[in-house]
Chains A and B, each alone.
Chain A
Amino acid sequence: MARIDPYAIYSLWLREMIRFFRLKSRVVGSLAPPFFFLAILGMGFRSTMVVPEGVDYIDFLAPGIIGMTLLFSATVGGLSMLWDREFGFLREIMVAPVSRLSIVLGRTAGGVTTAVMQGVIILVPGILMGLKITGPGGFLLSLVFMVLIATTFNSLGLAFASRMKDMSGFSLIMNFMVFPVFLLSGALFPVENLPPWLRILSYLDPLTYGVDGLRASLVGVSAFPLVLDLAVLAAGCAGSLALGAYLFEISDVE
């Protein structure tokens, strides 16, 4: 069992926070894509999209866009590690007497915090566009889902990045991963609209359960039982963290 060093995790997390808020352009830039998705898709598909009876499309879409924001943050987390490798700071991290598991946890914690902040901020334009949230309890539950989704994909991003030497290869892989995961998750339309053979892939996609859980907690509509959403996501979260820690442990810095 690998040791967990809370101090080191905190240190890595704090560094991400300082860096994130120091670059104002990054804060603003990271909010732009979800905002446009929400605003433009929300208005464009309002009348034509087939969603469950009695549900406004904005109520359906907003949790999906939050899920998308959390998913895309995985790429940012992986890239920041490749960036550290490029500029040498990774060596400073790797030569410290800190378990590799703690390094993965610390980096993930930083990525998850910024991702969840962005997810919450996206609620604001959502509410302005007519999103109706069930209540404070639902909001708190949605935070749990946001953390689980962000953790799953951030540690997957780190796992891939630890095997990659350069950024272009990483971007290539992430594009082939991120877009199918996003589009199959039912973030933009109900999974039931897909043909049965494609639906199978949706059911294998962890984000499907994340988006469904966000819908259940925020607007009270869902395709699966809440417990199933939670269980699948928690398992995905643990699995990807373990994978990230393992790949980190066996990787040399040079």
Chain B
Amino acid sequence: MNGAAIAASGLTMRFDGFTAVDKVDLHIEKGELFGLLGPNGAGKSTIIKMLTTMIRPTDGSALVWGHDIGRERDAVRSSIGVVFQDPSVDSQLTGRENLDFHGRMYGMDARMRQKRIEDVLDLVDLTDKADVLLEDYSGGMQRRLEIARGLMHHPDVLFLDEPTLGLDAQTRRYIWEYIQNMNRSEGVTVVITTHYMEEADYLCDRVAIIDRGRIVALDSPKNLKDLIGADIVVLEVGDGHLDDLAGVLSDFDWVISAEASENAVALSVDHGESRIPEIVLTASRAGVKIRSVSMHEPTLEDVFLEFTGKKMRDAETGGGGKLMAVQSRMRARRH
């Protein structure tokens, strides 16, 4: 079959007056490991829910593996595997029983189910826990079982909605490995949402940065970071006139940009390591007490800042509801 794994145009979702997803166009190639990166409440999960036929879009359309998400819902469902953000296992069944149920729902016969269950359990290292009730699994094990289940019926596209949310660093590493493994060994197209920068950076071939229901940037992590180009030097300071310092520093022609926040100044500088002495000197001349100096190469966090004018953490619109989201947005705009 020709064409893209996913082709969406003008995908829009409105909940009584609030636009969660705003005219999103998306083109994901077959075999790609594609990331949707953005703060909580940016609309990532809503995009996934529309693409997986769990909710119907207010406007726009999308093809998943060539099937229309509105008119060919069952064909879409047959082509995809989904790992939801929240748990979706039956805790009163064992791992094997959960997988067996899944296989039957996707029309797999007994022999195929048995073989696939062994395969996917092996892939996520849960073979020895196959006959344990899910209620006795740890959070990380449950997540791995869900990933195994999403893969079990050989989907063409696998959706993973925040697969490592709330997991410890080590488990997260393991899950990254499983995801990469199956993308490579099973050739499955993977669409993953995350609000962890390093996750998108480490895993994805291409990343779409989402803010307020829109795609603000889309490219490979490397290209996105190259857009920033220079190194980031951050001065953490005790007291003093930060705005003045930022002003003075940005007068140097090697400083690309300087931004002052509450107790830090962030500079975008080429060849940062050779400029640090001069920066420190300038700061002490300006009477600013420096607590620490750090330098890093650009991360996706810096890309997000560049495109949205705010840090990802500040852009989050947690469980507080839509009004809070709107308010924090207005505040962000004013600054």
* Chain A residues near B (Cβ < 8 Å): 3, 5, 7-8, 10-11, 14-15, 18-19, 22-23, 84, 87-99, 252-254
Contacts and interface: CB of A to CB of B under 8 A. Distances in A.
Contacts of A19: 90, 92-93
B172 to A, nearest CB: 21
B248 interface: no
Nearest to B94: A18
B104 interface: yes
B101 interface: yes
A18 B91 CA distance: 12
B88 interface: yes
A106 B78 CA distance: 19
Contact of B77 (A7, A10, A22, A95): A95
Contacts of A89: 88-90
Contact of A92 (B55, B80, B91, B102): B102
Contacts of A96: 77, 102, 105-106
A90 B105 CA distance: 13
A97 B103 CA distance: 11
A252 to B, nearest CB: 5
B258 to A, nearest CB: 44
Contacts of B105: 7-8, 11, 93, 96-98
A87 B55 CA distance: 18
Contacts of B87: 87-88
A8 B82 CA distance: 18
Nearest to A19: B92
Interface residues of B, number: 29
A10 B100 CA distance: 12
A22 B104 CA distance: 20
Contact of B54 (A5, A84, A94, A97): A94
Contacts of A88: 84, 86-89
A11 B100 CA distance: 8
Contacts of B84: 88, 91-92
B243 interface: no
B74 to A, nearest CB: 5
A97 B106 contact: yes
B49 interface: yes
B68 interface: no
A252 B55 contact: yes
B293 to A, nearest CB: 47
Given A88-B88, A98-B77, A254-B49, 16 more contacts: A3-B74, A7-B107, A11-B101, A11-B104, A15-B90, A19-B93, A89-B89, A91-B54, A92-B84, A94-B54, A95-B77, A96-B77, A96-B105, A98-B105, A252-B55, A254-B54
A253 B54 contact: yes
B77 A92 contact: no
B56 interface: yes
Nearest to A252: B55
Given A91-B84, A95-B52, A95-B53, A22 B101 contact: no
A8 B97 CA distance: 14
Contacts of B86: 88
Contacts of A11: 101, 104-105
Contacts of B101: 11, 14-15
Interface in B28-49: 49
Given A11-B104, A88-B88, A95 B82 contact: yes
A192 to B, nearest CB: 46
Nearest to B103: A11
A88 B88 CA distance: 4
B104 A99 contact: no
Given A8-B104, A11-B104, A97-B77, A252 B54 contact: yes
A92 B91 CA distance: 13
A177 B77 CA distance: 36
8 contacts: A87-B90, A88-B84, A88-B87, A97-B78, A98-B74, A98-B77, A252-B56, A253-B54
Contacts of B54: 91, 94-95, 252-254
Contacts of B107: 5, 7-8, 97
Contacts of B104: 7-8, 10-11, 14
Contacts of A99: 74
A111 to B, nearest CB: 16
B74 A91 contact: no
A22 B92 contact: yes
A2 B74 CA distance: 12
Nearest to B52: A95
A23 B78 CA distance: 33
A253 B78 CA distance: 18
A14 B98 CA distance: 11
Contacts of B88: 88-92
A88 to B, nearest CB: 4
Most chain B beta carbons < 10 A, residue from A5, A87, A91, A92: A92
Nearest to B108: A7
A1 to B, nearest CB: 14
Interface string B237-256: 00000000000000000000
Contacts of B102: 92, 96
B50 to A, nearest CB: 11
6 closest Cβ pairs, A-B complex? A11-B104, A97-B77, A88-B88, A97-B78, A96-B105, A92-B88
